Chains A and B, each alone.
Chain A
Amino acid sequence: MSLTRINIENLDKQYRLGEIGTGTLSHDINRWWHKIRGKRDPYKMIGSKNDRTSNNNSDYVWALKNINFDVKDGEVVGIIGKNGAGKSTLLKILSKVTGPTNGKITINGRIGALLEVGTGMHPELTGRENIFLNGAILGMSKKEVANKFDEIVDFAGIALYVDTPFKRYSSGMRVRLGFAVAAFLEPEILIVDEVLAVGDAEFQKRAIGKMKEVSNEQGRTVLFVSHNMNSVNTLCNRCVYLKDGEIKSIGETSKIVNEYLTNENDSKFSIEYKQNNPGDDIAILHSARIINTDKQTIDHSNIKDKIGIEYTFEILKNGYKPIPNVHFHTVKGEHAFTCAESPRDENCDIGLYTAIVWISEELLNVETYLITIGLSTMSPVIIHFLAKEVLVLNTIENIKHRTEGHNQKISGVLRPKLDWTIKKK
């Protein structure tokens, strides 16, 4: 049985909404009045779910509710969830910046949190003085810092400026120095917020590289918070999926990532128009959806699966030869491809039609695609409708199932599987 590094039991965290003012004082007095009579805190019983979009009447909100999980030694656990799901609050409690409202956490080992780099650097002090100060703030002893001093200076690349006041440093140097100190902290448990990986491309690469080194090579226990499903997929063995302050599910990474993509509606997998249908007086769009080979609506797909885009349109006038077409863009705005039906000879009569375009397996890359659906007549060119980015498709890949050793995302808007012939001359 391996060692349990972190054990979280029934963890809750409540926040007060609104400003702190006279209401706070009256609540404090009420709380104190309950306490001296030996009663429970009246405000711990109320509070609403942390759904930011809806208004509610309560003054209190549960940022975290009933969180239970364990982290074993050497595990890399990903924490995923949308903005506001409680990820940062959880990290803050684990790093002891704030306390929980209820529950208990037991930690075995020193925790190092890479939540923010360069905290406590003083502008008037030199780089040398700041390395010692920052190291001490992060929990290193003077001796530990002294031992690693040369490595830190080297990693940050500031050897020339080591006796210059921090305020004279460029912003890049400041970030590098901050990260270098944090990177040489050697805790048993490392908490990493991926938001950390800001800055220029080189620094990002270095930061991510360091995280990988720590988790994969040094066998350290890591808690990794990220929005990026690709990095979670590559780094983590296990995932905790938080939604509105509660654990939605927990388990093996690829399963949880699938569930996350299914639930978080940044993928729009079907659309139906009741009114204001896109279209002109010749044709209008009724509905569209993403389907699998069994014609079931799906919200995301594996790149190894064949999927279809199905849409229903209505022809309102006889005498046209409309051609359905779809356009795939990536979220970054790159045009992946356009695909239209080949022109037909016969006219379409008035009535309802369903068009399906099949996208073969092993064509798409791991990406979020925005799908535009169109219907046009070619001669003369009339665009009946062009419903821009009405469907959003997330594709995933089970990287662990790759046969090659490489486990990074392969770049490109598409990733078709093509035939190769190799002959020895």
Chain B
Amino acid sequence: MNLSVKNKYNEEIYPKKSILDVNIKEIYQFKDLLFLFVKRDFISIYKQTILGPLWFFIQPILTTIIFTVVFGRFAGLPTDGIPQVLFYLAGITCWNYFAECLTKTSNTFIDNQNIFGKVYFPRIISPLSIVLSSLIKFGIQFLLFLCLYFYYFFVHNSIHPNITLFLLPFLIVLMGLLSLGLGMIISSLTTKYRDLRFLIQFGVQLWMYVTPIIFPLSSLSGKMKILAVLNPMTSIIETFKFSFLSAGTFNWIYLGYSTLVTLIILLIGILIFNKTEQYFIDTV
């Protein structure tokens, strides 16, 4: 038997873990589990399908068509001079990633109560794996966006990227962390009070309509614009569009604000989640 630590307790179980007691080492020990969860989440979606991951293309294509018809043609909303299809697809690709992470992570405790009730592993592995496996899906949908983008780039020659394109990885990380933080807060609260579960469903949809997905930020002014910028997702989406299409709003202050909000929400999320994970099985 392998006894590495003699006469030294290597684990303690206390009633209430200190709020800052985040065991990074333990999370690292379970890194294999994290990757296996990512693999499971991703593989299990397209098992027993012929087209496999290609199905991920269908949803953004259909949504883009609908948006183009409804908001572009009928409502005639402006798109900063960008081809409508490209404008909507850019917003939808980003929003899909954010929305999927948020809805899935906010169900962490309820969806996993069976497994959480039987074995212990750091619970944060679950929401982390969701953010990572959704990233794969985002990558595939991003490819679709790139195809369309290159089509317009070469054929229409009306659009061009700019230097802020280097911010792309940062934007993706920001979206992932913001949804992770919010999802962890919501999932912790739903263990006791299920009310939030109902709120999140239409909450995410509503949120999409106040984020510049179907309209450009430049179409707003005055108080409306200030309100829109208070939404941390606004500058992320606008920067994404700006970097690829060189149209729209880019502002370091707006982006800095989004980063700050993301970090605060993430911190609160980790603290609440950490406090909840020890006892949630008694109240879920």
Contacts and interface: CB of A to CB of B under 8 A. Distances in A.
B9 A138 contact: no
A98 interface: yes
Secondary structure type dominating chain B contacts: loop
Interface string A114-129: 0110011010110001
A7 B120 contact: no
B36 interface: yes
Contact of A109 (B10, B32, B40, B281): B10
Contact of A107 (B12, B37, B114, B193): B12
A93 to B, nearest CB: 7
Contact of B32 (A99, A102, A141): A141
A142 interface: yes
A104 B13 CA distance: 6
A125 B44 contact: yes
A99 B274 CA distance: 12
Q: Which of B3, B11, B16 has the most CB of A within 10 A?
A: B11
B43 A107 contact: no
A3 interface: yes
Interface in B74-133: 114-121
Given A97-B120, A119-B119, A219-B1, A107 B9 contact: yes
B192 interface: yes
A119 B118 contact: yes
B121 A107 contact: no
Nearest to A118: B118
B115 A137 contact: yes
A93 B13 contact: yes
B13 A100 contact: yes
A133 B118 CA distance: 15
B119 A99 contact: no
A139 B121 contact: yes
Contacts of B32: 136, 141-142
B8 interface: yes
A330 interface: no
A125 B43 contact: yes
Contacts of B13: 93-94, 96, 99-100, 104-107
Contact of B119 (A15, A137, A219): A137
Interface string B34-71: 00110110011001100000000000000000000000
Contacts of B9: 7, 106-108
A397 interface: no
A325 interface: no
Interface string B1-42: 101011111111111110000000000011011001101100
A264 B7 CA distance: 38
Contact of A120 (B7, B43, B119, B281): B119
A188 interface: yes
B43 A129 contact: yes
Q: Which of B10, B32, B114, B115 has the most CB of A within 10 A?
A: B32
Given A106-B9, A136-B30, A116 B43 contact: no
B12 A104 contact: yes
B43 to A, nearest CB: 7
B278 interface: yes
B170 interface: no
Given A129-B43, A142-B32, A188 B119 contact: no
A297 interface: no
A188 B3 contact: yes
Contacts of B30: 136, 139
Number of chain A interface residues as a range: 35 or more
Nearest to B122: A96
Contacts of A138: 119
Interface in A214-264: 218-220
Interface string A55-68: 00000000000000
Given A3-B7, A108-B10, A97 B117 contact: yes
Given A3-B6, A104-B14, A137-B33, A97 B44 contact: no
Contacts of B119: 95, 97, 113, 115-116, 119-120, 137-138
A129 B120 CA distance: 20
A98 B121 CA distance: 12
A381 interface: no
A125 B37 CA distance: 11
Contact of A136 (B5, B33, B117): B33
Nearest to A3: B7
A103 interface: yes
B157 interface: no
Nearest to B10: A108
Q: Which of A15, A28, A99 has the most CB of B within 10 A?
A: A99
B57 to A, nearest CB: 21
A207 B223 CA distance: 69
B276 to A, nearest CB: 11
A396 to B, nearest CB: 33
B151 interface: no
Contacts of B3: 3, 109, 188
A106 B120 CA distance: 16
A92 B114 CA distance: 13
A201 interface: no
A136 B121 CA distance: 9
B150 interface: no
Contacts of B115: 119-120, 137
A160 interface: no
Contacts of B221: none
A96 B17 CA distance: 12
Nearest to B11: A107
B29 to A, nearest CB: 8
B1 A220 contact: yes
Nearest to B114: A119
A98 B118 contact: no
Q: Which 3 A-B pairs have the closest CB atoms?
A: A99-B278, A96-B120, A136-B33
Given A100-B14, A129-B39, 11 more contacts: A3-B3, A3-B6, A99-B16, A106-B9, A106-B12, A109-B3, A119-B118, A124-B44, A133-B37, A136-B33, A139-B121
12 contacts: A24-B192, A93-B13, A97-B117, A97-B281, A100-B15, A102-B15, A104-B12, A106-B13, A115-B119, A137-B33, A141-B32, A188-B3
